[in-house]
Amino acid sequence: MTRAVTDTLGRPLRDLRISVTDRCNLRCSYCMPAEVFGAGYAFLPREEILSFEEIERVVRVMVGLGVRKVRLTGGEPLLRRDLAALVRRLAGIPGVEDLALTTNGLLLAGAVGELRSAGLHRVTVSVDALDEALFRRMSGGRGAITDVLKGLVAAREAGLPVKINCVVQRDVNESEILPLARFCRSEGFTLRFIEYMDVGNHNRWDPASVVPAREILAILSGEFGIAPLAPGVVGEVAQRYRYLDGGGEVGLVASITQPFCRDCNRARLTADGKLVTCLFAADGADVRAELRRGRGDAELAAFIRGIWEGRSDRYSELRAAPRPSPSRKIEMSYVGG
């Protein structure tokens, strides 16, 4: 097996997240607030977005540097035309052990069969509320939770493991913690609660809006009997727990209160070909320019290796330190989470 390239802190390159588009069909307050990403917002022209051929080539090169997990994100990835064709390309790359999709789920029901046939391994769906009115409020008045639920069922029926992510915000959707837990237990879905993060520049993040993972754990423990599970893989970001009655598992991602920068093995490739080494970075390295200059695979690999080997990002660990944080950060909709 290829030995993964490591950064300045000894972190290997294993996980690649690819934004296949910067567009979305929701305007969630923490990712694409409507006052910023409204009807007049200028999204990337098509010629600036990486082609499927370019994405496939980058993945092949990065597998040679140690990548084993590939996740397609957005924006909303299901808005990218012929996405199953890209899945088929990536599923055929030797060394890709885990090929996943993160989506808001609105279009999933109509796409999941083709994606499964193309080689997709699993799907993660963002669901911050089951309550219809709250769901619509949090998603900028767009979409319906009923469409998301249809997508979840369709994914399960297609044989894809389903994970649900919920970002919990103080005084917004705390009331959904137990309903979501009960729903996932009954439907056999894996659930992850995520602390509200200071991603991008427009979500009006306030530390007071964070519901700490320990508080979420206390709510779950008060309702269900749970016990901790050992990490499934090195670099796993969620603290995992099992229900004592056999009702599955739940996880907590405590990126604010318990940073896990020292175990981070993720790189992100934006829709326009920037290689980003941290979710909170100000910018990324221009892989698209290297591709379109006609660089060979060895040259492209050397370029990417140099970026990763020089990586020293640990923003979450330094968030509370008495030092300036980046004045600008890449938007979540651009970098893909």
**Domains within the chain, CATH numbers bracketed:** 15-335 (3.20.20.70)
Cα 194 off chain centre by? 11
Predicted confidence at residue 29, as pLDDT, reads 67
Q: Which stretch of 26-35, 154-163, 298-307 has the lowest confidence by average pLDDT?
A: 26-35
Predicted confidence at residue 37, as pLDDT, reads 59
Which tokens go with 234? 């090195």
pLDDT digits (tens, 9 = 90+) for 66-84: 999 999 998 899 999 999 9
- The separation between the first and the last C-alpha atoms of the chain, rounded to the nearest angstrom, is 28
pLDDT for residue 334 is more than 80? no
Please provide the average confidence, as pLDDT, over all residues in the chain.
91
pLDDT digits (tens, 9 = 90+) for 175-194: 999 999 999 999 999 999 99
pLDDT digits (tens, 9 = 90+) for 238-255: 999 999 999 999 999 999
Alpha helices in the chain (DSSP H): 52-63, 83-91, 108-118, 132-138, 145-157, 177-187, 213-223, 287-292, 297-309, 315-318, 332-335
Predicted confidence at residue 41, as pLDDT, reads 61
Predicted confidence at residue 221, as pLDDT, reads 96
What distance in Å separates the CA atoms of residue 264 and residue 3, rounded to the nearest whole number?
17
Q: Which residue has the higher pLDDT, 296 or 283?
A: 296
Which pTM does this prediction carry? 0.92
DSSP, collapsed to helix, strand or coil, labels residue 219 as helix
Predicted confidence at residue 282, as pLDDT, reads 84
Q: Which residue has the higher pLDDT, 35 or 302?
A: 302
Averaged pLDDT for residues 23-37: 71
Closest CA relative to residue 278, chosen from 265, 290, 259? 265
Averaged pLDDT for residues 286-309: 97
Q: Provide the percentage of residues in the chain whose pLDDT is more than 90.
A: 74
What distance in Å separates the CA atoms of residue 228 and residue 12, rounded to the nearest whole number?
26
pLDDT digits (tens, 9 = 90+) for 196-237: 998 876 678 899 999 999 999 999 999 999 999 988 776 688
Residue with tokens 């996405």: 83
Q: Provide the percentage of residues in the chain whose pLDDT is more than 70.
A: 90
Predicted confidence at residue 182, as pLDDT, reads 98
Predicted confidence at residue 323, as pLDDT, reads 54
Which tokens go with 253? 């991602």
DSSP, collapsed to helix, strand or coil, labels residue 333 as helix
What distance in Å separates the CA atoms of residue 137 and residue 179, rounded to the nearest whole number?
18
Cα 290 off chain centre by? 25
